[in-house]
Amino acid sequence: MAKDVSPDKQAQVEEVVGEGGKVYLSPCQIRCPLDIDIQRNHTMIALLPFDPEEAARRMIEIGNEVYEKSPLFPLLCAYICGLCEKECNYKDETGAVRRRMVMRLVAKEYLKYLKTMPPLPVPTGEKVAVIGGGAGGLMCAYVLSKKGYRVTILERNPELGGAMRLIPAYRLPQEVIDSVISSLLRVAHIEVRLGAEVGDGGQTIDDLKKEGYRAVFVASGTPTPRPLTFGREMLSADLEGVMFGLNLLYEVLQGNVPLQFYEGKKVIVVGGGNVAFDVARTVRRLGGDVTLVCLECADKSCKDGIPADDEEIEGATEEGIEIVYSRGIEEIVGKDGKFSQIKCPRCTSVFNEDGRFNPQCDRSDVIYIAGDVLLITIGQGPERTLFQNDGLLNEQGRLDIDPVTLMSNLKEGVFIGGDVRRVGFASEAMRDGATAAESIDRYLKGEDMKAGRKEKEYETASIPERVRHKLQPELKWTPAAERLNFEPFEKEYTLAEVIEEARRCLCCGPCKSCKACVVLGLQSEIPEIEVNEDLCSGCGVCVAVCPYGASKLETTEDRLKSAVDDAKCKRCGVCVTVCPSGARTIKDALAETIADTYATLSG
């Protein structure tokens, strides 16, 4: 280890830049909006002891590393999100590493620890207002509090959590949301005003500034359901039995919908995203006979493929929900003022050649689907009153936001992010919250808000070569006939199963962007591989055996010699063992470690 570097600093991850000037990283971590050290987490979990008490202690350390970047853990990573799994190199082999289920066990221990987590120092700086208590707003408030600002969250609803509150309890228990959010507020000393209307007959942003708030972050989300259209025509939905699926989820959350509410009724859900499946599966649990109708096709590899997760589709099918693919809605038909059926032409394409949403239907190929209830769940949009009243919309009626700083180009000191800027995942809204917090800090300090914030370019680490790939474990679900209730149906993995699944991670990314071995004390630093050019014959054996593509041959002075791509090298030592010339050496402390071990044993 370098003499002037502390062990803690030695264990910090480093950004590895490849030969093309791009950051070299595993695809899972590139996809993670919060840049969580996924490979490092997996390696630390893979090396957990099998003793439950010692494993629990180590899991708190892993949880602390995740929480540092995602203060909504364990909600994210363990229950919702899963963006990293969608990009895992393993997905096209035997299936992605099941990170959510791996982290679920860590979450179980970490939820206990959250209740006693030491608070941050009490902030004494300037006041900042955050409008909206969803994922983006909570993240912004937390980061600003860490920076010393006094933050107040203004939330119109009776609870914080935003869209996360609408996720059914069988996927995300409400008590988990309560525990994570209450701990975050306590730790970060964040003030909260529930039932606070801003913009719609309530306060304005100017009013908040008069109260002494030096900056405002607007993360009010997308609470307004999107109506059904056919072409450019909005379909009439003024019939008894027609409502929005989002409203149903909210009413269920509030306890206003009795069990078996839809018993004996045929319910049609329109939409192909995860929220539509949440609605369909909720109705099934309320006794309904459910059909889901979507524009998209069943082939997820197609550009018009259904966007819902595979697990949602599989779960819904098991629970008896019929899915009708590739059908638009041309007409909502009623009888005596009540909904009776929908007219569904075949959808021939969802997106045009430019990738824009522009559904095309064959009106000569039509089916009718009868039902008692129609639940429209095709997306949602922002509440525009706040933005209109506070002059945040441009002449085209759109938000005008600087993409780097997230500050409004029309009103200084007002920052906008989360779903209201671009509908996405909770982790993406949190990224906006962190971005806005950094901008607000610089704004209030009078610093350049754009300096050093150029978007990075990435080179994706490829999958290492293997003779065979380990099989993905099955998800453990309660049988469909026994899970038509609101209890969580995903069964946890055991400690042994979690360790085994974490060991399936191929650690595709660079060692220096992981350093799990260093933080666990297995070695003092990431060693270098040295090539003695005088001994190297350029035979290429090292190139042939390297499973990571880290060994290569270069021509210098009219002869071949081997070289090491530091970004790709895993320091596994295979090249060292096979080199017939002994030209390669791992510069680690193995000799000293062996000597120390012998000395300890002999003493």
Angle at 536 between CA 533 and CA 538, to 5 degrees: 115
The confidence score (pLDDT) of residue 1 equals 39
Whether 342 and 245 map to the same domain: the answer is yes
Please state the three-class secondary structure of 371-422 as a single string: CCEEEECCCEECCCHHHHHCCCECCCCCECECCCCCEECCCCCEEECHHHCC
Q: How far apart are CA 348 and CA 351, in angstroms?
A: 10
- Residue of 12, 118, 106, 105 whose CA lies nearest to 60: 106
Angle at 420 between CA 416 and CA 424, to 5 degrees: 115
The confidence score (pLDDT) of residue 237 equals 82
* Beta carbons within 8 Å of 49's beta carbon, 6+ residues apart: 55, 58
Q: Is the pLDDT of residue 64 over 70?
A: yes
Residue 106 lies in a domain: yes
Q: How far apart are CA 160 and CA 152, in angstroms?
A: 12
Q: What is the CATH number of the domain that holds 580?
A: 3.30.70.20
pLDDT (tens digit, 9 = 90+) per residue, 391-440?
999 999 999 999 999 999 999 999 999 999 999 999 999 999 999 999 99
Angle at 101 between CA 100 and CA 107, to 5 degrees: 80
Whether 433 and 308 map to the same domain: the answer is no
Higher pLDDT, 569 or 8: 569
Whether 239 and 365 map to the same domain: the answer is yes
The confidence score (pLDDT) of residue 466 equals 87
Domain boundary among 358, 376, 394: 376
End-to-end alpha-carbon separation of the chain, Å?
25
Whether 365 and 272 map to the same domain: the answer is yes
Q: Please name the residue that has the structure tokens 């297995």.
A: 522
The confidence score (pLDDT) of residue 3 equals 45
Round the average pLDDT of the chain to a whole number and report it: 94
Q: How far apart are CA 411 and CA 401, in angstroms?
A: 10
Within a 10 A sphere around the Cβ of 319, how many other Cβ atoms?
Answer: 17
Over residues 374-386, mean pLDDT: 92
Q: How far apart are CA 358 and CA 34, in angstroms?
A: 32
Q: How far apart are CA 515 and CA 501, in angstroms?
A: 20
Over residues 281-291, mean pLDDT: 98
pLDDT (tens digit, 9 = 90+) per residue, 571-597?
988 999 999 999 999 888 766 767 776
Residue 210 lies in a domain: yes
The confidence score (pLDDT) of residue 6 equals 63
Over residues 555-571, mean pLDDT: 88
Domain count, the chain: 4
* Strand-pair partners of 243: 375
C-alpha distances out from residue 330 to 191, 235, 359, 384, 518, Å: 48, 8, 12, 28, 61
pLDDT (tens digit, 9 = 90+) per residue, 465-503?
888 899 999 999 999 999 999 999 999 999 999 999 999
Residue 172 lies in a domain: no
Domain boundary among 376, 403, 432: 376
Whether 213 and 261 map to the same domain: the answer is no
DSSP-assigned letter for residue 170 = T
The confidence score (pLDDT) of residue 309 equals 95
Containing 214, the helix (H) or strand (E) segment is strand 213-218
The pLDDT > 90 percentage for the chain reads 85
pLDDT-based confidence at 2, cuts 50/70/90? very low
Angle at 589 between CA 586 and CA 593, to 5 degrees: 135
Q: How many CA atoms lie within 13 A of 307 on its CB side?
A: 15
Q: What is the CATH number of the domain that holds 240?
A: 3.50.50.60
Whether 388 and 493 map to the same domain: the answer is no
Six-digit token pair at 221? 């989300």
Q: Are 148 and 441 in contact (CB under 8 A)?
A: no
Whether 132 and 41 map to the same domain: the answer is no
Residue 67 lies in a domain: yes
The confidence score (pLDDT) of residue 420 equals 94
The confidence score (pLDDT) of residue 590 equals 67
Q: Are 457 and 451 in contact (CB under 8 A)?
A: no
Residue 173 lies in a domain: no
Domain extent for 544: 528-602
154 burial via Cβ count (<10 Å: 0-12, 13-18, 19+): buried
The confidence score (pLDDT) of residue 182 equals 97
Q: How many CA atoms lie within 13 A of 337 on its CB side?
A: 0
* Beta carbons within 8 Å of 516's beta carbon, 6+ residues apart: 39, 40, 43, 44, 47
Residue 422 lies in a domain: yes
* Beta carbons within 8 Å of 518's beta carbon, 6+ residues apart: 10, 11, 524, 525, 526
Residue 165 lies in a domain: no
Whether 351 and 390 map to the same domain: the answer is no
Residue 177 lies in a domain: no
Q: How far apart are CA 393 and CA 400, in angstroms?
A: 6
pLDDT-based confidence at 226, cuts 50/70/90? very high
C-alpha distances out from residue 62 to 14, 106, 450, Å: 18, 8, 32
Ranges assigned E (strand) in 245-314: 266-270, 289-293
Q: Are 417 and 136 in contact (CB under 8 A)?
A: yes
Over residues 283-298, mean pLDDT: 98
- Residue of 80, 89, 32, 100 whose CA lies nearest to 501: 100
Over residues 60-68, mean pLDDT: 97
Whether 100 and 141 map to the same domain: the answer is no
Q: How far apart are CA 12 and CA 579, in angstroms?
A: 32
Q: Are 293 and 342 in contact (CB under 8 A)?
A: yes
Whether 367 and 259 map to the same domain: the answer is yes
Whether 111 and 147 map to the same domain: the answer is no
- Residue of 421, 425, 426, 372 whose CA lies nearest to 401: 421
pLDDT (tens digit, 9 = 90+) per residue, 305-329?
999 999 999 999 999 999 999 999 9
Indicate the Cα dihedral angle 249, 252, 258, 263, nearest 10°. 20
Q: How far apart are CA 312 and CA 316, in angstroms?
A: 6
- Residue of 161, 197, 165 whose CA lies nearest to 430: 161
The pLDDT > 70 percentage for the chain reads 98
Whether 573 and 532 map to the same domain: the answer is yes
Q: How far apart are CA 515 and CA 14, in angstroms?
A: 9
The confidence score (pLDDT) of residue 7 equals 66
Domain boundary among 392, 421, 445: 445
Q: Highest mean pLDDT range out of 378-382, 484-488, 596-600?
A: 484-488
